Chain A
Amino acid sequence: MARVNEMKGSEPTRRLAHVWDESLCIACGACVMACTMTNQPEMMHRKEKGWDSVASNIRRIDGVNATGKPSVLLVQCQHCDDAPCVANCPFGAVYRDDDGLVRLDAEQCAGCSYCVTSCPYNVRWFHPDSKLPMKCMGEGCLDLVAQGESPACVQACPAMARDFGDLNDPASSVSLTLRTKRSRRLLEGSGTEPKYFVVEGGL
Chain B
Amino acid sequence: MNAYHIIIAGHGGQGILFAGKFISYAGMIREKNVSWLPTYGPEMRGGTAKCSVIISDAPVGSPIVTKPDVLIAMNLPSLDRYEPECAIGAKVIVDSALVPRQLVRTDLAGYYIPAQKLAEDNGLHGLTNMIMVGKAIREIGVCAYEDIEAAMEKTVPERKKNLLSANLKAVEIGYNFPRYSFE
A and B held together in a complex: no
